[in-house]
């Protein structure tokens, strides 16, 4: 492995050159000793053939340099390094021979007349060169003196790892772990390999314990608590099989990126970073098991005429050309056929719209049957927190009873996947840190309570009836087609029309805003590759306070900050939401939109689509607006 070094003669290089110089001199002296077969007679020869002591280093060290022997990381030395050592030795010897036997005699300069001494010098120099480099590697690989004893690994529940694949990748991981004294928390207990010839062999001192069938027994026997699949070029079926074996015994598995991803250059930045972590830590997750996506054909998207639902419909029709998308939506004030405009013309029968209420089981069942629905993605909900404070009943109906009705249908028709679109609000507020999927649900508004209820129901259907379900808990979305009751479109449209931007309380309530297409990408990924029964947090980590959001929007639209007015707070408002999204990232999701780009795209969309939002500012809207803001705005 080469490393780029702007200073070619750095300290390390100088040390190595000094070692090589000593080795060359020793080689010459030894060559004479061997040739003459007497130690005491050596001095006259050395004096006579002194040119060899100048010539050999002058030739060899530049040759070694040209072969990058001063720029390699010897810790990772392999056969390619061995070949370079041998080749540089041979080429150096050839040049020395030509100069010694041809050039020096022509120039009448004293030279070594013994061919065997010159040959021996070449052989010994090359052997010493190889030994010095592999000695370096041995020193770097030495086991740290303060290594944790095996008994401690058992008592303290540290990582005891099984590497599946006793090939190059497995050996690499094992070697790296040994090279890094900092990896005290982990120990490789053994290798698994299906090649019987490798059984009971050792790699870097670690035994090959058995084939994949033996995994459950070995895990029990050796108290293994983690497996790493080190088979970068294995076919997906083998990986699936191993993954299945491990999941039946609840053994966490990690894997390296596939060799094809590496070669195709299709690895994401995130994965590369994780790969670097292997370099840095000697052991770490790279890319967890990339499951083969489940195959779907006919999807029912409930709430598909709303904000996120409609973006998802556009996204899925675009991304999955062989899918039929059936939108099932009640068309409440938040549902809008304009959001789906043009889809019939563009996609023909692949797109179907059905008006219906998810609470109405018979209608849901008819649609599933008629369109041979094999998966349901449930966006349908009453979604505005402020409205849930005014009229909680519709939230209970749609968000809980409606979800029940869909689950009932999913069970009856045995759909391949039921995906519930949930929210970060189910965790309640968090003042410090971030919520992960295992955290308890501590809802504080009627809206979030109904969403949490739905999540629990979904989970219960998985446990009780084996329905294959997944849940995503998303943070606040921004983007096209959002009804202007939510903060971002409300602030944009108010700013455009020089109206007050009502900021609740002290304005320091923090939300994590993500661009809606990133949310759709995450749902698509979980739908196809998420583990059944699992919950995935889904947020971009853009934590912004409402007051800052208002200022950014005004700044972008070149409107004065005097349009901001702090108004009476939303009762029981959550101070801050924050999600830990590691789990979905291990499936391969990362947001593509930065907050700034997402906000800019959103503002521009509203600027360019007045036809869409102007109609929404109707009597119904102003009725809601007055109820919500009139009194607040009148109190300065
Ligand atoms: P939205 O209010 O814009 O759209 C809701 C859609 O559901 C509308 O089209 C509406 O007509 C439809 N609907 C309502 N009741 C129905 C019923 N009984 N039967 C059929 N259709 C019905 O909502 P949104 O902001 O797009 O949110 C979609 C989903 O995502 C919701 O479940 C919400 O809880 C969740 N979520 C939203 C956000 C966000 O920032 N907006 C963030 C995380 C999760
Ligand atoms: O976190 C995900 C949730 O995000 C979703 O589950 C909900 O469906 C969605 O509506 C949204 O809920 P929020 O309550 O966070 O969004 P809203 O846009 O209503 O408010 C965002 C922040 O802005 C919040 O701190 C309250 C503040 N706000 C809101 C409005 C409407 C104001 O300061 N003034 C306002 O007028």
484 lines ligand 1 (CB under 6 A): no
Catalogue the active-site residues: 424-425, 447
Mean pLDDT of 236-257: 73
Exposed, middle or buried, 541 (CB in 10 Å: 0-12/13-18/19+)? middle
Among 64-68, 148-152, 310-314, 622-626, which stretch is predicted with the lowest mean pLDDT?
148-152
166 SS3 class: coil
Domain ranges of the chain: 3-141, 152-272, 293-634
Ligand nearest to the CA of 333: 1
487 lines ligand 2 (CB under 6 A): yes
Of residues 233 and 489, the one with the higher pLDDT is 489
Among 11-15, 59-63, 75-79, 401-405, which stretch is predicted with the lowest mean pLDDT?
75-79
Tell me: pLDDT of 453 over 60: yes
425 lines ligand 2 (CB under 6 A): yes
Ligand 2 centroid–CA 574 distance in Å is: 10
Report which protein residue has its CA nearest ligand 2's atom 8.
Answer: 383
- From the CB of residue 84, how many other CB atoms can be counted at a distance below 10 Å? 18
CATH class of 293-634: alpha beta
Among 8-12, 36-40, 339-343, 473-477, which stretch is predicted with the lowest mean pLDDT?
8-12
Substitution candidate for ligand 1 out of 383, 409, 425, 511 with most atoms within 8 A of CB: 383
Quick check: 522 and 313 in contact, CB under 8 A? Answer: no
Quick check: 567 and 504 in contact, CB under 8 A? Answer: yes
**Spatial distance between the Cα atoms of 273 and 603, rounded to a whole number of angstroms:** 33
Name the band, by pLDDT with cuts 50, 70 and 90, for residue 597: very high
Tell me: pLDDT of 621 over 90: yes
| Both structure tokens of 50 | 């002194």
**Percent of the chain whose pLDDT exceeds 70:** 86
CA angle, 521 then 526 then 530, to 5°: 155
| Non-local CB neighbours of 448 within 8 Å, separated by 6+ positions | 385, 423, 425, 426, 428
Tell me: pLDDT of 528 over 60: yes
Of residues 17 and 277, the one with the higher pLDDT is 17
Place of tokens 């009762």: 571
Ligand 1 centroid–CA 306 distance in Å is: 6
308 lines ligand 1 (CB under 6 A): yes
Substitution candidate for ligand 2 out of 332, 449, 486 with most atoms within 8 A of CB: 486
| Both structure tokens of 330 | 């009640």
pTM recorded for the entire structure: 0.64
502 lines ligand 2 (CB under 6 A): yes
**Percent of the chain whose pLDDT exceeds 90:** 66
Of residues 21 and 40, the one with the higher pLDDT is 21
Report which protein residue has its CA nearest ligand 2's atom 35.
Answer: 487
What is the bridge-based pairing of β-strands 476-478 and 510-515?
parallel
Ligand 1 centroid–CA 480 distance in Å is: 14
Mean pLDDT of 572-579: 96
251 SS3 class: coil
**Spatial distance between the Cα atoms of 25 and 21, rounded to a whole number of angstroms:** 6
What atom of ligand 1 comes closest to residue 398's alpha carbon?
18
Range 152-272: architecture per CATH: 3-Layer(aba) Sandwich (3.40)
Substitution candidate for ligand 1 out of 307, 312, 353, 395 with most atoms within 8 A of CB: 307
Ligand 2 centroid–CA 183 distance in Å is: 44
Ligand 2 centroid–CA 612 distance in Å is: 21
326 lines ligand 2 (CB under 6 A): no
Tell me: pLDDT of 182 over 50: no
| Both structure tokens of 300 | 């029912």
Ligand nearest to the CA of 491: 2
Of 477, 482, 479, 503, nearest in space to 425 by CA: 477
**Spatial distance between the Cα atoms of 428 and 576, rounded to a whole number of angstroms:** 9
Among 129-138, 200-209, 284-293, 516-525, which stretch is predicted with the lowest mean pLDDT?
284-293
Ligand 1 centroid–CA 548 distance in Å is: 26
Q: What pLDDT, on the 0 to 100 scale, is given for residue 262?
A: 46
pLDDT in tens, 37-58: 777 778 888 888 889 999 999 9
Tell me: pLDDT of 267 over 60: no
331 lines ligand 1 (CB under 6 A): yes
Quick check: 419 and 406 in contact, CB under 8 A? Answer: no
Ligand 2 centroid–CA 486 distance in Å is: 6
Of residues 552 and 235, the one with the higher pLDDT is 552
R_g over Cα of the chain: 34
Quick check: 363 and 329 in contact, CB under 8 A? Answer: no
| Both structure tokens of 270 | 């995130």
pLDDT in tens, 491-511: 999 999 999 999 999 999 999
**Spatial distance between the Cα atoms of 310 and 509, rounded to a whole number of angstroms:** 28
Mean pLDDT of 516-521: 98
Tell me: pLDDT of 361 over 60: yes
Of residues 78 and 448, the one with the higher pLDDT is 448
**Spatial distance between the Cα atoms of 243 and 249, rounded to a whole number of angstroms:** 10
| Both structure tokens of 402 | 């409606």
512 lines ligand 2 (CB under 6 A): no
511 lines ligand 2 (CB under 6 A): yes
Report which protein residue has its CA nearest ligand 1's atom 44.
Answer: 423
409 lines ligand 2 (CB under 6 A): no
What is the bridge-based pairing of β-strands 510-515 and 543-545?
antiparallel
Report which protein residue has its CA nearest ligand 1's atom 41.
Answer: 477
């Amino acid at each position: 492995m080469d490393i780029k070094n702007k200073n070619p003669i750095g300290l390390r290089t100088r040390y190595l050159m000094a070692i090589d110089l000593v080795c060359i001199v020793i080689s010459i002296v030894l060559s004479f000793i061997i040739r003459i077969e007497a130690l005491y007679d050596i001095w006259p020869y050395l004096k006579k053939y002194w040119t060899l002591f100048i010539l050999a280093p002058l030739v060899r060290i530049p040759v070694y340099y040209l072969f990058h022997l001063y720029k390699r990381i010897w810790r990772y030395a392999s056969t390619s390094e061995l070949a370079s050592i041998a080749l540089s030795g041979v080429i150096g010897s050839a040049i020395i021979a030509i100069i010694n036997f041809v050039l020096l005699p022509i120039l009448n300069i004293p030279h070594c007349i013994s061919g065997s001494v010159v040959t021996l010098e070449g052989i010994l120099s090359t052997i010493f060169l190889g030994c010095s480099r592999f000695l370096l590697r041995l020193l770097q690989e030495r086991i740290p003196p303060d290594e944790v004893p095996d008994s401690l690994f058992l008592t303290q529940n540290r990582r005891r790892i099984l590497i599946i694949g006793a090939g190059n990748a497995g050996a690499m991981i094992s070697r790296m772990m040994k090279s890094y004294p900092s990896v005290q928390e982990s120990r490789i207990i053994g290798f698994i390999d299906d090649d019987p010839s490798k059984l009971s062999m050792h790699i870097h001192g670690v035994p090959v314990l058995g084939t994949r069938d033996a995994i459950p027994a070995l895990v029990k026997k050796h108290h293994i608590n983690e497996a790493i699949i080190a088979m970068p070029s294995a076919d997906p079926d083998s990986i699936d099989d191993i993954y299945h074996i491990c999941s039946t015994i609840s053994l966490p598995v990690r894997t390296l990126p596939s060799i094809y991803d590496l070669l195709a250059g299709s690895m994401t930045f995130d994965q590369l970073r994780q790969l670097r972590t292997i370099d840095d830590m000697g052991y770490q997750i790279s890319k967890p098991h990339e499951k083969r996506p489940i195959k779907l054909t006919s999807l029912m998207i409930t709430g598909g005429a709303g904000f996120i639902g409609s973006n998802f419909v556009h996204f899925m029709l675009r991304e999955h050309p062989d899918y039929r998308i059936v939108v099932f939506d009640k068309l409440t004030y938040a549902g809008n056929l304009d959001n789906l405009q043009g889809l019939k013309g563009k996609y023909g029968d692949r797109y179907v719209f059905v008006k219906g209420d998810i609470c109405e089981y018979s209608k849901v069942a008819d649609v599933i049957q008629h369109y041979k629905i094999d998966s349901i993605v449930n966006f349908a909900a009453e979604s505005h927190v402020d409205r849930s404070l005014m009229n909680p009943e519709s939230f209970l109906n749609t968000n809980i009873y409606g979800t029940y009705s869909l689950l009932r249908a999913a069970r009856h028709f045995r759909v391949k996947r039921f995906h519930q679109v949930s929210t970060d609000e189910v965790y309640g507020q968090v003042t410090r840190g971030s919520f992960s999927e295992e955290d308890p649900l501590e809802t504080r508004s009627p809206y979030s309570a109904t969403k949490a209820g739905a999540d629990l129901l979904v989970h219960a259907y998985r446990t009780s009836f084996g329905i294959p379900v997944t849940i995503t808990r998303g943070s606040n979305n921004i983007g096209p087609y959002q009804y202007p009751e939510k903060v971002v479109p409300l602030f944009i449209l108010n700013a455009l029309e020089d109206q007050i931007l009502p900021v609740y309380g002290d304005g320091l309530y923090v939300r994590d805003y993500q661009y809606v297409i990133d949310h759709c990408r995450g749902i698509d990924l979980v739908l196809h590759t998420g583990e059944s029964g699992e919950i995935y947090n889904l947020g971009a980590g853009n934590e912004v306070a409402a007051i800052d959001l208002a200022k950014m929007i005004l700044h972008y639209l070149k409107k004065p900050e005097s349009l901001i007015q702090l108004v009476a707070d939303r009762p029981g408002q959550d101070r801050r939401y924050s999600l830990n999204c590691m789990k979905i990232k291990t499936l391969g999701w990362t947001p593509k939109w930065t907050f700034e780009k997402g906000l800019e795209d959103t503002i521009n969309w509203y600027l360019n689509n007045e036809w869409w939002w102007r109609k929404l500012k109707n009597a119904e809207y102003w009725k809601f607006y007055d109820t919500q803001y009139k009194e607040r705005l009148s109190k300065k």
